[in-house]
């Protein structure tokens, strides 16, 4: 029996960050993960490898399509997919090793294996049929999520795949069909489109990026269509079967589609089965999402949960914030996650980023708001880099001028959004942003101009 003060089940951005912070606060911490590579879905098969592939594929696309415009002529551009995949794996390897190093440096004990609760204060780690027993007065569940399945479709990991396999196709698919026009569908659809696949996205709703501000999502849809991605909205798949090298997809009320690879990207579900939750009485909803209070405490004494397996957006940075706040609270310190200013980014090109409420949410809440919009077409830096697509949109309270939501579609949106996130975290008004001097020429000036536009003082349109 190994005794600890805190056991964290899961070594993803929620779990490993919680473990490090707890160790910094003086606790004797164990962090359990079944994978040899630490860092969870995000580092191994999610955010990091997908961003590596997005970067590489965008460079390939630019070399083919936009370098000549800049007067850079390339005689022959060739794709070396194997090298691209090796580079991605190297990035993942370096970062996952980095996490291992961080745990070691902070004296967190890492146990490799599957962790499960076994009554109060006890956790069993299982690996290759062998078990290790750990005990601690407190346990944090940070087991994350996995790809959701669809009835009538069996993932075989070869022709019908999840995002994990779609990050490592050894050949460029001829025709990649993606079910789901969300984050994963658009990011991985973009990667393979740039590398030469025909890409068709099938989306059940009448729009893509369901939770994104509708005006922005509409523009994203048009731009991606212009990039050659085909969309079928209001499209319901009834089944899909792989046969040899092809996949046949049956649609409700439409002709079947044939492709050589099918990617299932219809959301993710919490990883909470076979965790022994019943041995301590941890309550979940019917989708397996763990119920927690404001201190991340579950219904079982001493058991906490954070990240993708509790309610809220399934984002790595949300999980990390919760991990830190959870252990700070356990240590009796003040901590709070500011859920109103969590940014979200879709890493397509150009990027889509948002913080706060969408215009639809404000309308549904009956809120009175003002709106300021500025297109990148009118931004000098955007012209110089040749990235004039998209816009910045700021929504502010009609009476108090407090910023309620900021939505950016354009080059560098994923970085630009943090000015807005910081402003919102400090309770800023659009007028506060107006009074921040923005360097010229930068893309950030579009944020400044959108803030000016809220009060009808825009300068460059």
Catalytic residues: 440
Report d(CA 264, CA 154) in Å as an integer: 10
- Is the Cβ of residue 108 or residue 345 nearer to ligand NAD in the bound state? 345
Pick the binder of ligand NAD from 99, 103, 289, 315 (CB under 6 A): 315
Question: Closest separation between CB of residue 157 and ligand NAD, Å?
Answer: 17
Establish how many alpha carbons lie within 13 A of residue 412's alpha carbon, considering only the half-sphere containing its beta carbon: 17
Q: Which two tokens stand for residue 395?
A: 């929504």
Reference 178, options 194, 206, 197, 195; nearest CA is 197
- 405 lies in the site for ligand NAD, by CB under 6 A: no
**Is 99 in contact with 8 (CB distance < 8 Å)?**
no
**By CB under 6 A, how many residues form the interface with ligand NAD?**
26
Question: Closest separation between CB of residue 318 and ligand NAD, Å?
Answer: 9
Residues 320-349 binding ligand NAD (CB under 6 A) are 345-347
Alpha carbon of residue 19 to chain centroid: 21
Question: Closest separation between CB of residue 163 and ligand NAD, Å?
Answer: 7
Residues 211-240 binding ligand NAD (CB under 6 A) are 236-237
- Is the Cβ of residue 180 or residue 350 nearer to ligand NAD in the bound state? 180
- Is the Cβ of residue 261 or residue 448 nearer to ligand NAD in the bound state? 261
- 249 lies in the site for ligand NAD, by CB under 6 A: no
Question: Closest separation between CB of residue 200 and ligand NAD, Å?
Answer: 12
Residues 123-182 binding ligand NAD (CB under 6 A) are 150, 179-182
- Is the Cβ of residue 237 or residue 446 nearer to ligand NAD in the bound state? 237
The residue number whose beta carbon is nearest to ligand NAD equals 182
- Is the Cβ of residue 203 or residue 260 nearer to ligand NAD in the bound state? 203
Question: Closest separation between CB of residue 425 and ligand NAD, Å?
Answer: 19
150-164 b/e (C-beta count within 10 Å ≥ 16 → b): beebebeeebbbbbb
Site string for ligand NAD, 260-299 (x = CB under 6 A): -----xxxx-------------------------------
- 443 lies in the site for ligand NAD, by CB under 6 A: no
- 313 lies in the site for ligand NAD, by CB under 6 A: yes
Question: Closest separation between CB of residue 60 and ligand NAD, Å?
Answer: 20
- 187 lies in the site for ligand NAD, by CB under 6 A: yes
Pick the binder of ligand NAD from 290, 314, 396, 433 (CB under 6 A): 314
Question: Closest separation between CB of residue 111 and ligand NAD, Å?
Answer: 27
- Strand 237-243 vs strand 230-232: parallel, antiparallel, or unpaired? unpaired
Give the residues across from 344 on adjacent strands: 354
Report d(CA 335, CA 6) in Å as an integer: 18
- Is the Cβ of residue 151 or residue 243 nearer to ligand NAD in the bound state? 151
Sign of CA dihedral 70, 71, 72, 74: positive
- Is the Cβ of residue 48 or residue 396 nearer to ligand NAD in the bound state? 48
Question: Closest separation between CB of residue 196 and ligand NAD, Å?
Answer: 22
Pick the binder of ligand NAD from 33, 203, 213, 260 (CB under 6 A): 203
- Is the Cβ of residue 113 or residue 312 nearer to ligand NAD in the bound state? 312
Binding footprint of ligand NAD on the chain (CB under 6 A)? 150, 179-185, 187, 202-205, 210, 236-237, 265-268, 313-315, 345-347
């Amino acid at each position: 029996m190994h005794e600890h003060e805190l056991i964290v089940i899961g070594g993803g951005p929620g779990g490993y960050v919680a473990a490090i912070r707890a160790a910094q606060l003086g606790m004797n911490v164990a962090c359990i993960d079944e994978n040899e590579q630490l860092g969870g879905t995000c580092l191994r098969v999610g955010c990091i490898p997908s961003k590596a592939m997005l970067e590489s594929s965008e460079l390939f696309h630019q070399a083919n399509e936009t370098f000549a415009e800049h007067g850079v002529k390339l005689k022959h551009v060739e794709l070396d997919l194997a090298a691209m995949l090796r580079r991605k794996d190297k990035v993942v390897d370096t970062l996952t090793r980095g996490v291992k190093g961080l745990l070691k440096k902070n004296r967190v004990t890492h146990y490799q294996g599957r962790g499960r609760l076994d009554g109060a204060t006890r956790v069993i780690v299982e690996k290759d049929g062998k078990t290790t027993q750990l005990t601690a007065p407190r346990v944090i569940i940070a087991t994350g999520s996995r790809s959701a399945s669809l009835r009538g479709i069996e993932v075989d990991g070869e022709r019908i795949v999840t995002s994990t396999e779609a990050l490592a196709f050894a050949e460029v698919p001829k025709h990649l069909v993606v079910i789901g026009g969300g984050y994963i569908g658009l990011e991985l659809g973009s990667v393979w489109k740039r590398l030469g696949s025909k890409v068709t996205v099938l989306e059940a709703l009448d729009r893509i990026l369901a939770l994104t501000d509708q005006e922005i999502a509409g523009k994203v849809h048009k731009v991606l269509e212009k990039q050659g991605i085909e969309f079928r909205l209001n499209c319901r798949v009834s089944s899909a079967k792989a046969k040899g090298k092809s996949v046949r997809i049956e649609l409700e009320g439409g002709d079947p589609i044939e492709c050589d690879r099918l990617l299932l990207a219809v959301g993710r579900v919490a990883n909470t089965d076979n965790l022994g939750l019943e041995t301590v009485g941890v309550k979940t909803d019917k989708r397996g999402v763990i119920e927690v209070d404001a201190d991340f405490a579950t219904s079982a004494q001493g058991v906490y949960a954070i990240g993708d397996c509790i309610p809220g957006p399934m984002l790595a940075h949300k999980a990390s914030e919760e991990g830190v706040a959870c252990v700070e609270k356990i240590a009796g310190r003040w901590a709070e996650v500011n859920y109103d200013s969590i940014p979200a980014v879709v890493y397509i090109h150009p990027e889509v980023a948002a913080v706060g409420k969408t215009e639809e949410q404000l309308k549904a809440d009956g809120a009175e708001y003002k709106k300021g919009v500025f297109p990148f077409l009118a931004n000098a830096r955007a012209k110089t880099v040749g990235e004039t697509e998209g816009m910045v949109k700021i929504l502010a309270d009609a009476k108090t001028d407090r910023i309620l939501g900021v939505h950016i579609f354009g080059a560098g949106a994923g970085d630009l959004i943090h000015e807005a996130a910081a402003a919102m975290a400090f309770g800023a008004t659009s007028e506060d942003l107006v009074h921040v001097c923005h360097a010229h020429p930068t893309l950030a000036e579009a944020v400044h101009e959108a803030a000016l536009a809220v009060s009808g003082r825009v300068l460059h349109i």
